[in-house]
Amino acid sequence: MVAPGLRVPLEGKVAIVTGSTRGIGRGVAAALAANGAAVVLNGRRAEAAERQVAETTRDGGRAVFVAGDVGEAATADALVAAAVGEFGRLDILVNNAGLTDTSGDFLTWPEERIDQILAVNLRGALLCAQRAARRMVEQGDGGAIVNITSVGGSQRAHHNNVVYDVTKGGLDALTRALATDLGPAGIRVNAIGPAATADAPPEGRGGDLPLRRGGTPDDIAGAVLYFVSDAARFISGQILYADGGLMAQLRSPRR
């Protein structure tokens, strides 16, 4: 999966993509590698990771895999260590890892599940951003962080998905705060809010969007490529909704 029609020069760049063994993360990692970046992959599915590394290297790309839950500081440390140890530097972080099977009645939602969602979706992004930014500051030549957020969170909400929306709203706030604090070091921080995205959107999915179709990982990968490219060198603290027009419409069309 490579975003069609968009090519950016990323040779010599090194990227970390969390949650990259499937879906959006897999598409983003493939697009970065296809454009010349060395990529540190991450996830908890070893079999899928092995296939992904093999596919990337077979096509001439460079990739390594770091297993682990990004909600744990040790995983964030290991990701940066792998980037520096294998490829010598770190230029790009894509905070994509997130739990999406999160809907449920807020009144009866188990505390353990709340903690798990908060840890992976929000704490993990914060930890990875902190570790990555430390390395970028040490290198002294800037960098780019892209957070994968959602159409639900800071501006809108999903029905029966309180904890998920809390984490995504937090990611939006994290994006703005990091852009403010890391800007003096030349580190740009932006976010992308996808909607109705799947490897192969089922029939009818996205039919209520203005573009009348669901999104694919390639659609999101194209937005990531833009944010990490020099074309976006003066853009930071922004949230781009790659959502088929969802955020623009007042309500879904009547059929």
Identify the bridge partners of residue 239 per DSSP, sorted by sequence position.
191
Cα(231)–Cα(225) distance, integer angstroms: 10
- Check 87, 164, 226, 227 and give the catalytic one: 164
**CB 151: neighbour CB atoms within 10 A?**
21
The token pair that represents 118 in the structure block: 């908060």
- Sheet with 239-242, side-by-side order of all strands: 62-67, 38-43, 14-17, 92-95, 143-148, 187-194, 239-242
| Residue 241 among the catalytic residues | no
Q: So which residues are the catalytic ones?
A: 164
